[in-house]
Amino acid sequence: MRFDVISLFPDMVSDAASYGVTGRAIERGLVDLSVWNPRDYTHDKHRTVDDRPYGGGPGMVMKCQPLRDAVNAAKQHNVLANRKVICLSPQGRLLNQELLLDASCYDQLILVTGRYEGIDERFIQQCCDEEWSLGDYVISGGELAALIVIDAVTRLIPGVLGDEESAKQDSHFDGLLDCPHYTRPEHSDIGDVPDVLLGGNHADIKRWRMKQALGRTWLRRPDMLEKVTLSAEQDALLKEFRTEVV
Ligand SMILES: Nc1nonc1C(=O)NCC1CCCCC1
């Protein structure tokens, strides 16, 4: 997987991505990351990337030409056919695990991040394939959104998480929230580890974890539960959870 990020703050992206799972994936060559600064594709002495909005109003708008040339530089640097140009913005399709799973099948994702009041619409319409959104709120720039896409997609790349199951046990991977996790000590003044996790019976542990995941999803995110088809065993486990919690 190759990520090319278009950003006015390249170090913000490359530094953050150099830690943890994404940093190790880059070191191991499972992921390539390049960052392209639109300011490097300006042609005036002030290296202008923004301008006042037509129609008036506050703030500045990012100009098309520097962004377009930065995207083209990213495309020419790696001619990978199976790629998408994504603009991160509050106007985009809401990010979820399904969208990220689809995205993980591409060879290259070019992630365009905005600043100021926004990006000239002509660039979005003509140079981007899709717009994706973190959620219904506004942050100061698209870089954090791009980093979330990079992190979440990287976790889905085979071999990145060592044990394939880790990604599959993540919250939302199977449409459910994650089960609770515990580690040493067994007993503490703020509670004890559930006995089932100490017993070593793997079938019981797997059953308990699925029951907790189903129960949590039912309690905290019933909307998610409406979108998944439960197996007969999962249905029975959820019924069991609901009788116990009432
Ligand atoms: N929400 C979001 N999801 O993805 N990106 C988001 C965002 O809020 N981005 C910042 C804005 C800042 C002004 C220009 C356009 C992008």
Structural domain spans, the chain = 2-156, 187-245
Q: Tens digits of per-residue pLDDT, 192-213?
A: 999 999 999 999 999 999 999 9
Dihedral, 13, 83, 153, 144 alpha carbons, nearest 10: 30
Candidate of 88, 112, 148 to mutate for ligand 1, largest count of ligand atoms within 8 Å of Cβ: 88
Q: Whose CA is nearest to atom 2 of ligand 1?
A: 90
- Interface confidence, given as ipTM, is 0.97
How sure is the predictor about 218, in pLDDT bands with cuts at 50, 70 and 90?
Answer: very high
Q: What is the dihedral of CA 181, 183, 188, 194, to 10 degrees?
A: 50
Is 237 annotated as contributing to ligand binding? no
- Determine what percent of the chain is predicted with pLDDT higher than 70: 97
pLDDT at 80: 79
Fold of 187-245: Trp Operon Repressor; Chain A (1.10.1270)
- Quick one: how far is CA 74 from the chain centroid? 21
Pick from 63, 89, 85: which is nearest to 72 by CA?
85
Q: Give the residue carrying structure tokens 């106007």.
A: 91
pLDDT score of 228 more than 60: yes
User: How many Å lie between the centroid of ligand 1 and the Cα of residue 112?
Assistant: 10
CA atoms within 13 A on the CB side of 131: 15
Q: Which CATH architecture has domain 2-156?
A: 3-Layer(aba) Sandwich (3.40)
Pocket of ligand 1 (CB under 6 A): 88-90, 114-115, 117-118, 133-135, 137-139, 141-142, 145
